Structure 1
Amino acid sequence: MQILLLFLVIQLCHGSNDTVSISLKRHTLNVGGTSFVGLKNFDGVVFYGEISVGSPPQKFNVVFDTGSTDLWVPSKEWPEETDHKHPKFDKDASKTCRLMKGGEVNIAYETGSVVGILAQDNVNVGGVVIKSQDLFLARNPDTYFRSVKFDGVLGLGIKSSRAQGSVTVWENMVKQKLITKPIFSLYLRPHKGDGGEDPNGGQIMFGGFDPKQFKGEHVYVPMKLSDDRWKIKMSKIYINGKPAINFCDDVECTAMVDSGSTDIFGPDEAVGKIYKEIGATKVIIRCEQFPALPDIYFEIGGKHLRLTKHDYVEVKTNPKKSCRLRIVKSKNRRKDWVLGEAFMTKFHTVFDHGDVKTPRIGFAEAI
C-alpha cells in the first residue's frame, strides 16, 4: 500500500453464501443471489465501503487494500482531534469480542501508521459473517491517519504479516467456506464530475466476477510467491510506436497489484525515462501537452495492456485547470512497480486463489 485510497462507503445487505459483492452504486440490489452494496469514488483517488464488526454490529468504512494483509478499525482510544469524525469500536459492547494474547503491534504503510492490539470478533462483509475474525483495535494514528476520511483498512493479502498465527479476512472467507470459489474481483469506475463523491464507483466481489463489467477474456499471470503480496512479473513497458525501448528491462521486472495505492509507481530511473520520452520533467505537466501524449503499453502475460493519456493523466478544472501524471516515482526507491488505482480503473482485475500453489491475477479491459 503506497497511499491509501480504496474506500468503499457501503450499506450492507444479505445474499447467498456463494458470492459476496460490494458494488459501487448508491443503492443496494440483490440479483441472482449476489449481494451488491453501494460504493463511492471520492475525488478519483479513493473508494470506501462499509463493513460491520461485533454483536450487535458496529459499522466502519474501510479501505479494501490488496497491498496489505490485516484488518484494523479505530478503538475507543482513537483521538478526537482528527480532520473527520470516526466511529470507535467498543469491545465491551460486543458479546462476541475477545482480546488475544500479545502486546501492541505497530501497523505501518508506505504512508501512515497506527498502533493496534489483536482481538477476535465477528465481521460482516457484504452480508457474509466471518466468525472469530482476527482484527486490530487501533489507536495512536500518525498525522496521515488523523487526516483521512475512511475509518480503517481491510487488507486482502494472502497471509497476515502483523501477528504470528493471526488469520486474514480472505483466508477465513475461504476456510469457513463462505464463498464457493476462492476468487475476488475489483471493478473500479473512473470518477465522474470535478471533485467530491461519485456514487457510482465500481464493485468488489468475493466468490466470482461479473462478466458485464469487462470486455473479452482475462489474461492471467501467476503470482510470484516470494512474499504474501499479490505480485506478478511483467515483460515490457513501452511507448506507442516504440516497442524496442523497454522501460521494464530488469531481469526481474515485477509489479504489486495494489488497490490501496492511488497511482502507478515505478523505479526512479525507469519513470524518469518515461517522462523524458513523453516530454515531461516532473509529475505536474502543462495541460497544453495533454493532447499530444502517447499511449503507454504494459506487456503482461503476453498481452499488451494499453493506457491512454486519459488513464495516466489526472486533469482537474477546479479551482483552476491542472494536469498531473499518474505514473510516478516510488518514494522508497523500490525496484518493483506498483499497479494502483490508475491501472486498475482501466482493467477489471481478478484475484484467483483457486490453486493454492499457484495463485494468479487476471486483467481484462473494464467497461
Structure 2
Amino acid sequence: MLRLVLVLLLVWTWTSSALVRVPLRRRPSIRSQLRADGLLLDFLKDHRPDMFNRRYAQCFPPGTPSLRLGRSSEKIYNFMDAQYFGEIMLGSPDQNFSVIFDTGSSDLWVPSSYCVSEACALHRRFRAFESSSFHHDGRMFGIHYGSGHLLGVMARDTLKVGGLTALNQEFGESVYEPGATFVMAKFDGVLGMGYPNLAEILGNPVFDNMMAQKSVEEPVFSFYLSRTRSSYPEGELLLGGTDEAMFTGPINWLPVTVKGYWQIKMDSVAVQGVSSFCPRGCQAIVDTGTSLIAGPTSDILSLQQLIGATPTNIGEFLIDCVRLSSLPHVTFVLGGTEYTLTAEHYVRKEMLGDKELCFSGFQAVDIVSPEGPLWILGDVFLTEFYSVFDRGQDRVGFAAAKHPVEG
C-alpha cells in the first residue's frame, strides 16, 4: 500500500510540474475605451500608419530594421482590440508585468525605468539596477506595430512564467513608445510566442529558451479563451501540453507551412455553406495577439455585405443587433474539417451608454507573402476553438472549446 501511495505521489508531482497554467484576464479593449470616451475618431486620424511613420521616423536610428519600406505590411498587430493578457516576472527579486501572450510575434518587451514616454509612466517599468541577475546588452531594437513603433535596448535576465523559469532570457526594455496606443493599454508589454524567424530582438524567444533549458515536459502550449469576462477562467495559457477539460472531441492537426508566424493552409471560407472565398486554398496565421478575423480587403468587403454589415466613417462595420439570429453562418475549412461561426460568435457587442452596438468581427488587412495574401485567425475564432501550438512537430491543433452555458 505504501509503495502504491509513493507511486501515485510521484505521478502527481511529475504531472503537476509538467503542465503550467497561466491565468489570462479579459478586459475591455483600447478601442472600446476610446469609443466610450468619445475619442475614437480623433485617435484613428492621428494613428494612421502612413501619417504616424512620417511623424516619428526621425526619432529612430537610421537603418532601424522595423522602419524599412514594406516592413509594416509584413507585421500587423492589432493591439487596439487585444483583450487577453497575463502576468510574468522578470529579474531577481521578481518584478511583475502584465503581457499579451502573442503568437503573432516573437519578442518579449516591457517598459524600462528609463522610458521617457507617457505610456511608460502609466505602466510598471523594469528597474534593471534592482535585479541581481540582470545582464546589460546595449544593442538597440525597434519594433513596428500596426499603430506605431517602439524603440528600446536589449537585455538578459531571469524570467518566470507561471511556475517555469527561463534563465538569461533575452528581452527588450522599451525606452520610447510614441503615440497614445500604449497609454490606454491595460497591459505593460508583449511576450511573443512565434518562431525565431519573426523576432526583431536577437536571441531565443521565450518558449525556445524554455525548450532549450528543458523547462517544459513537451514542446507544446495551448490557449483557452472565454467568451465573456464573467466566465471562469477568463482565459488560460497552458505551457507543456493540453487540458482535455477545456475542449471536446478530437484535436484536428494542421502542419505549419512557414515557420515565422504560426502559419497554416486554409482550404476555404464558406458563407451559409457556399464556398465564397479562398476556394483553391490560401494561407492563414493563427494569432492570439489579434482580436478579430482578418483577410484581404476585397474578400472581407464582400463578406461584410453577405452578413449585412454596413461601414462607418472610421472603417468599422455595424450590424443590426435585432437581426443576429437571421444572419448566415461563416465556415472556415481547415484540414478538411469545418469550423463554423454563427453570428453570436462573429459579432462583437459593446455598450455605449445604455445602447447596445453590434460590430462585425471581420477586418480587412492586406498582408502580402510569397504564398499569397494571408488571413488572420484571431480571438473571434480562437474563443470558439481551443488552440494547440506544437513546436515539436511544427503543427497547430484545434478542437471545440468548452464554454459554460450562458443563461
TM-score by length of 2: 0.76
Select the residue among 295, 304, 317 that pairs with 1:275.
304
SS where residue 126 of structure 2 aligns?
Answer: coil
Contact 1:66 1:257 in 2 (8 A): yes
CA spacing shift, 1:280–1:162, aligned 2, 3 Å? closer
SS where residue 205 of structure 1 aligns?
Answer: strand
Question: Equivalent residue for 1:131?
Answer: 167
Are 1:43 and 2:28 matched, yes or no? yes
Q: Give the drift of 1:78.
A: 2.3
Question: Equivalent residue for 1:235?
Answer: 267
In structure 1, what residue type is equivalent to 2:350? K
Give CA-to-partner distance per residue, 1:131-161, whole Å, 9 cap, x none: 0000001111022122211100000011154
Q: Give the drift of 1:289.
A: 2.8
Matches within 5 A, 1:193-232: 200-225=233-258, 227-232=259-264
Are 1:286 and 2:308 matched, yes or no? no
Instruction: Give distance in 2, aligned partners of 1:159 and 1:271.
Output: 30
Question: What RMSD over aligned residues (CA atoms) do the two structures have, in Å?
Answer: 2.1
Instruction: Give distance in 1, aligned partners of 2:301 and 2:117.
Output: 42
Higher helix share: 2
Are 1:71 and 2:108 matched, yes or no? yes
Question: Equivalent residue for 1:108?
Answer: 144
In structure 1, what residue type is equivalent to 2:251? H
In structure 1, what residue type is equivalent to 2:291? T
Select the residue among 72, 95, 99 that pairs with 2:136.
99
Instruction: Give distance in 2, aligned partners of 1:337 and 1:292.
Output: 26
Give CA-to-partner distance per residue, 1:158-195, whole Å, 9 cap, x none: 115445741100101111000110000000011146xx
Percent identity of paired positions between Structure 1 and Structure 2: 34
Question: Equivalent residue for 2:294?
Answer: 265
SS where residue 207 of structure 2 aligns?
Answer: helix
Moved more, 203-212 or 271-280: 271-280
Question: Equivalent residue for 2:89?
Answer: 52
Contact 2:268 2:278 in 1 (8 A): yes
Contact 1:267 1:333 in 2 (8 A): no
Are 1:308 and 2:342 matched, yes or no? yes
Question: Equivalent residue for 2:219?
Answer: 182
Question: Equivalent residue for 1:28?
Answer: none
CA spacing shift, 1:160–1:94, aligned 2, 3 Å? farther
Instruction: Give distance in 2, aligned partners of 1:112 and 1:19.
Output: 36
Give CA-to-partner distance per residue, 1:276-321, whole Å, 9 cap, x none: 2223333112223322111110000110001111110012244211
Contact 1:113 1:145 in 2 (8 A): no
Instruction: Give distance in 2, aligned partners of 1:155 and 1:318.
Output: 32
Larger Rg: 2
Aligned length: 326
Contact 1:133 1:172 in 2 (8 A): yes
Question: Equivalent residue for 1:349?
Answer: 387
Contact 2:384 2:401 in 1 (8 A): yes
Contact 2:143 2:200 in 1 (8 A): no
Alignment gaps of 5+ in structure 2: 1-14, 30-81, 312-316, 403-407
SS where residue 179 of structure 1 aligns?
Answer: coil
Question: Equivalent residue for 1:247?
Answer: 277
Contact 1:133 1:169 in 2 (8 A): yes
Give CA-to-partner distance per residue, 1:29-88, whole Å, 9 cap, x none: xxxxxxxxxx32113751111100000111100110000000001101224634972111
Q: Give the drift of 1:346.
A: 0.5
Contact 2:120 2:177 in 1 (8 A): no
Instruction: Give distance in 2, aligned partners of 1:74 and 1:127.
Output: 23
SS where residue 238 of structure 2 aligns?
Answer: strand
Contact 1:121 1:131 in 2 (8 A): yes
